[in-house]
Amino acid sequence: RLDSGEECDQGDTASGDGCSDQCEIEVGWSCTGLGCQCRDYYHGAACETCIVHVDRDATGAPDGLTWATAFHRLQDAVDLATSLGPRCEVWVAEGTYPIWEFGPLNTLELQDGVEILGGFAGTETQRADRDPQAHPTILSGASPNDPEQRVFHVITAVGTQDATLDGLIIQEGNADPPPLDPNNPASTPDPTLAPQGGGLY
């Protein structure tokens, strides 16, 4: 039974099984009463691995739980992984993912503690099975409708620490905005908003 102040109680003093030696629910676990199991997005014998899936071709309602229900938009996966806890991984299937949505200020914003891993075919269950050479994963700054239009920074990591990018091709950023039109200063962005770093700022 649960005593006052206890979140869980499995009848032992061991940690690493969902319920700590202080009878608190551990990261990655969900405990109800006396039993514990992995929370959504967490996997492994000790619920030690957190995975959010991204696949532009997924057909299920997007929640990132599986390849079939993967997010189409990478930022959605990064934001969710940030909320889930430390060292959550974002697995990205092969293909081209445009960062441009509305204009040149669009960017993929990295978050602390999140690992973004590319090179998946979209069927893997182990990160070691991915192959970035065979399944290139591209983050593109070009507008899908006009390749001449590009974001200033494909990825932005302002103030971000301990984030990982691995197995990704980052291309088609343009840190240098066009010059201001002297006849219409509002027609182009302020160049001070676009300091260096077309691929990563």
Q: What is the pLDDT of residues 4-21, one digit of tens each?
A: 888 887 777 777 788 888
Distance CA 88, CA 108 (A): 17
| Residue 195 CB partners (closer than 8 Å, separation 6+) | 175, 201
pLDDT band at 192 (very low <50, low <70, confident <90, very high): low
CB-CB contact of 196 with 177 (8 Å): no
- For 107-159, write each residue's pLDDT tens digit: 999 999 899 999 999 999 999 999 999 999 999 999 999 989 999 999 999 88
What whole-number percentage of the chain has pLDDT above 70?
A: 90
Nearest CA to 113 out of 164, 167, 189 is that of 164
Question: What pLDDT, on the 0 to 100 scale, is given for residue 36?
Answer: 85
CB-CB contact of 168 with 140 (8 Å): no
Q: How far apart are the first and last CA of the chain?
A: 52
